[in-house]
């Protein structure tokens, strides 16, 4: 079975790795990229998305999305992780095509109406576009098959603050709206993505598997690896955004825990994902939220093999 997806993304180096992984997977049909601010400003995210689509020779829409969080000032972006260009400063040429005239939220709603019950939204950036789409179409949860999110930290520390992961922290109000909607959510947070560091020979293997796409990831990830290797004995980096896609290909790669999740929105807890597994709380603050599934364990060798084999297809 092929999974129709919309990939909501803020490219970004691990986003690029994930986008190519989705393109290479025969089990996945990418209907379009919806982009959002996050690692880089919104206009750069859209242009980067288009560059990746052109590099992969795909003919799919790339939409411009939210430039600002629901509440609060413009984000500070993560150029120190992803480079000034979002691609590790590799001087990749600008795209030649055009950004789609629809906004990211409009595209999500249009596709959900066109393919009711068929689409999985894979969200690997701040959840701003999804919250805007819910405003445009309040019936969206009943039109969408599932929402697979890279974001949050259920039982481990955050990466922006001690309690918050970047995607959720970037637009905590939007995240609280998205986690409060009644659609099946699968969350892949730092619990699993930080559990699997990749050494530099991993990206070299991706390049051997696929000179063009893997070669791009290998070059872009040098800057990213430097960031993630600070204070470590061995160089390493993380490919967060590919995890919710791998789940589509093979759900048995992950152990999932069911429960209720709240997102902190006050300044101290901004973006904190407080997760109560089923049966662990009687608090209405959690029980009133829909049940979601959080990835709490991942099979390292099999996931690594899945990434490598898929790049070679
Ligand atoms: O915390 C990791 C997430 O933040 C990833 O989606 C990465 O691309 C950044 O946006
Ligand atoms: Ca991302």
Tell me the pLDDT tens digit for each residue of 253-265.
999 999 999 999 9
Assess whether the C-beta atom of 15 lies below 6 angstroms from ligand 1.
Answer: yes
Coil vs helix vs strand at 131:
helix
E strands, the chain, are 3-9, 28-35, 62-64, 100-103, 119-123, 144-150, 185-188, 254-263, 273-277, 291-298
The pLDDT of residue 163:
98
Ligand 1, pocket-test mutation among 174, 240, 271, most atoms within 8 A of CB: 240
Compute the distance between CA of residue 159 and CA of residue 138 in angstroms, rounded to an integer. Answer: 32
Banded pLDDT at 1 (limits 50, 70, 90): confident
Average pLDDT over residues 21-26: 98
Evaluated on CA atoms 193, 41, 109, 164, the torsion sign reads positive
Atom of ligand 1 nearest to the CA of 15: 8
Find the domain containing 130 and state its range: 3-311
- Cβ-contact 152, 273 below 8 angstroms: yes
Supply the pTM of this predicted model. 0.98
Percent of the chain with pLDDT over 90: 100
Banded pLDDT at 126 (limits 50, 70, 90): very high
User: Residue 174's CB: how many other CB atoms inside 10 A?
Assistant: 24
Assess whether the C-beta atom of 191 lies below 6 angstroms from ligand 1.
Answer: no
Quickly list DSSP for 93-151.
PPP-S--EEEEHHHHHHHHHHHSTTTEEEEE-S-THHHHHHHHH-TTHHHHEEEEEEE-
Tell me the pLDDT tens digit for each residue of 37-85.
999 999 999 999 999 999 999 999 999 999 999 999 999 999 999 999 9
The residue with tokens 């089923």 is 278
Quickly list DSSP for 7-21.
EEE---HHHHHHHHH
Q: How far is the CA of 10 from the centre of ligand 2 (A)?
A: 5
89 Cβ contact partners less than 8 Å away, ≥ 6 residues apart: 83, 223
Tell me the pLDDT tens digit for each residue of 137-163.
999 999 999 999 999 999 999 999 999
Average pLDDT over residues 232-237: 95
The pLDDT of residue 252:
98
Q: What's the domain count of the chain?
A: 1
Marked catalytic residue, from 3, 240, 269, 285:
240
300 annotated active-site: no
Atom of ligand 1 nearest to the CA of 238: 2
The pLDDT of residue 4:
98
Evaluated on CA atoms 151, 148, 38, 27, the torsion sign reads positive
Compute the distance between CA of residue 108 and CA of residue 139 in angstroms, rounded to an integer. Answer: 12
The residue with tokens 């259920």 is 154
User: Residue 207's CB: how many other CB atoms inside 10 A?
Assistant: 17
Q: How far is the CA of 15 from the centre of ligand 2 (A)?
A: 5
CATH number of the domain residue 277 falls in? 3.90.245.10
- Cβ-contact 12, 40 below 8 angstroms: yes
Name 122's bridge partners: 7, 148
How many helices (H) and strands (E) the chain has is answered by: 14, 10
The pLDDT of residue 234:
94
């Amino acid at each position: 079975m092929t999974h129709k997806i919309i990939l909501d993304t803020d490219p970004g180096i691990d986003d690029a790795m994930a986008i190519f992984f989705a393109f290479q997977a025969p089990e996945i049909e990418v209907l379009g990229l919806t982009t959002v601010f996050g690692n880089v400003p919104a206009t750069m995210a859209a242009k980067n998305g288009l560059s990746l689509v052109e590099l992969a020779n795909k003919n799919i829409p790339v939409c411009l999305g939210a430039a600002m969080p629901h509440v609060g000032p413009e984000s500070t972006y993560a150029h120190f992780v992803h480079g000034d260009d979002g691609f590790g400063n590799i001087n990749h040429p600008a795209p030649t095509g055009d950004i789609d005239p629809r906004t990211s939220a409009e595209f999500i709603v249009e596709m959900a109406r066109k393919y009711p019950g068929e689409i999985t939204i894979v969200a690997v950036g701040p959840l701003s576009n999804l919250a805007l789409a819910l405003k445009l179409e309040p019936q969206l949860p009943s039109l969408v098959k599932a929402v697979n999110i890279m974001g949050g930290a259920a039982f481990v520390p955050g990466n922006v603050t001690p309690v918050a992961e970047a995607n959720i922290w970037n637009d905590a109000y939007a995240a609280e709206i998205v986690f409060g909607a009644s659609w099946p959510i699968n969350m892949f947070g730092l619990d699993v993505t930080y559990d699997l560091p990749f050494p530099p020979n991993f990206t070299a293997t991706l390049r051997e598997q696929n000179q063009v796409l893997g070669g791009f990831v290998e070059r872009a990830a040098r800057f990213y690896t430097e960031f993630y290797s600070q204070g470590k004995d061995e160089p390493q980096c993380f490919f967060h955004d590919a995890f919710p896609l791998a789940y589509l290909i093979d759900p048995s790669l992950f152990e999932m825990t069911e429960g209720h999740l709240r997102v902190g929105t006050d300044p101290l807890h901004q973006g904190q994902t407080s997760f109560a597994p089923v049966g662990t709380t009687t608090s209405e603050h959690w029980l009133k939220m829909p049940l979601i599934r959080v990835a709490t364990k991942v099979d390292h060798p099999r996931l690594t093999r899945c990434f490598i084999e898929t790049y070679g297809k």
